[in-house]
Amino acid sequence: MQAIAFYLFYPLLWIISRLPSRLTYLLSDFAFLIVYYIIGYRKKVIINNLRIAFPDKPLKELELLCKKTTQHFCDSFIEVIMSMSMSHEEMLSRFQYTNLELINDLRAQNRPIIAMFGHQASYEWTMCLDGLVDYKIIAVYKPLANKYFNKLIVDIRQKFNSTMITMREASNSISHSITNGDMAMYGLVADQSPAKYRAQHFTTFFNKTSAVFMGSEKLAKAHDTAVVYLAVEKIKRGHYRATFQTITEHAAQTKDWEITDTFFKLLERQIRKQPEYYLWSHKRWKATPDNIKRTPVLSPQVQ
């Protein structure tokens, strides 16, 4: 069934990827009408997350944000399809890195880098960094259930010579790479929310105790990498700007929780500027220190 679904839809996806962008965004508008008004995709989850994050906003404003974030979700999906046929030059015309000198300075010091970013604006088109810096780009991803569509997504993300590794492989693969002396930048979408059975570590995110993964910080401290935060903002439809911010040049010298807490503070600050472009459709606060089986470990930020 997985193969049948893939081979039925792949020709359509390829055709869409070859269309002018004006037409693809019209398709996104059509998809939005179905997803938002007919299916009502995760409206309750989105509104609940927004209510927690912005308790002072009236319901009408939250509903407007819900509508805008669903529209952006549809745009993000169509932009993945567009990536199938986009050249490096075309993607760079839509996704601009503003301060690559920061990365070049770390390269001059021969510092491997862990780059942390969130599900904000466009995290898919970050792959156009390949070829702009003198680093091997290695990115961590969560596999799709359908192995055929998963291969397609991996091929798209690797089209400019980056390397993709799964979340399950990440710790061993990155440790092996750093130990071997690879001069690489390791990209991790670090705002994933762990399921209850995996949750143990908690920090504060939007004034709410939030379960987080500590893998990025643990890897960075174990191998004394530099750590940067990548802030991506949406300039207009289909156009983005990305800026690096240094969290630390020497992770081994940081205190416990310093890297993780700094990341979530920077991410929250960025989301508050453009809340409609964050992925609110997943249950961010489903795990709490009281409903998990493991002994909770709390950041100093948790009151």
Kindly write down the DSSP assignment for every residue of the chain, as one continuous string. Answer: -HHHHHHHHHHHHHHHHTS-HHHHHHHHHHHHIIIIIII-TTHHHHHHHHHHH-TTS-HHHHHHHHHHHHHHHHHHHHHHHHHTT--HHHHHHHEEES-HHHHHHHHHTT--EEEEE-SBS-SSGGGGGTTTSSSEEEEEEPPPSSHHHHHHHHHHHTTTS-EEEEHHHHHHHHHHHHHTT--EEEEEETT----TTT--EEEEETTEEEEE--HHHHHHHHHT-EEEEEEEEEEETTEEEEEEEEEES-GGGSPTTHHHHHHHHHHHHHHHHSGGGB---S-TT---TTS-SSPPEE-TT--
In a domain, 63, yes or no: no
**Structural domains of the chain, count:** 1
Per-residue confidence (pLDDT) for residue 167, from 0 to 100: 87
What average pLDDT does the structure give for the chain? 94
The amino acid sitting at 282 is H
Instruction: Let me know if residue 77 belongs to a domain.
Output: no
Q: Answer whether residue 230 is part of any domain.
A: yes
Q: Is the pTM of this model over 0.75?
A: yes
Assigned domain for 69 exists: no
How confident is the model at residue 6, as a pLDDT?
81
Reported as a pLDDT band with limits 50, 70 and 90, residue 144 is confident
128 domain residue, yes or no: yes
Q: Distance between CA atoms of 224 and 270, rounded to whole angstroms?
A: 26
Share of the chain above pLDDT 70, in %: 100
Residue 22 within any structural domain of the chain: no
Q: What is the pLDDT of residue 181?
A: 87
Q: Which residues pair with 245 in a beta bridge?
A: 229
What is the model's pLDDT at position 8?
A: 84
pLDDT tens digits for range 64-78: 999 999 999 999 999
- We report the CATH number of the domain holding residue 238 as 3.40.1130
The arithmetic mean of pLDDT across residues 21-40, rounded, is: 96
* 55 lies in some domain: no
Domain carrying residue 100: 87-298
170 vs 61: which has the higher pLDDT: 61
**Measured between alpha carbons, how far is 94 from 238 in angstroms, rounded to an integer?**
6
pLDDT tens digits, 100-130: 999 999 999 999 999 999 999 998 999 999 9
Give the pLDDT mean for 75-99.
Answer: 96
280 has pLDDT over 80: yes
232 in any annotated domain = yes
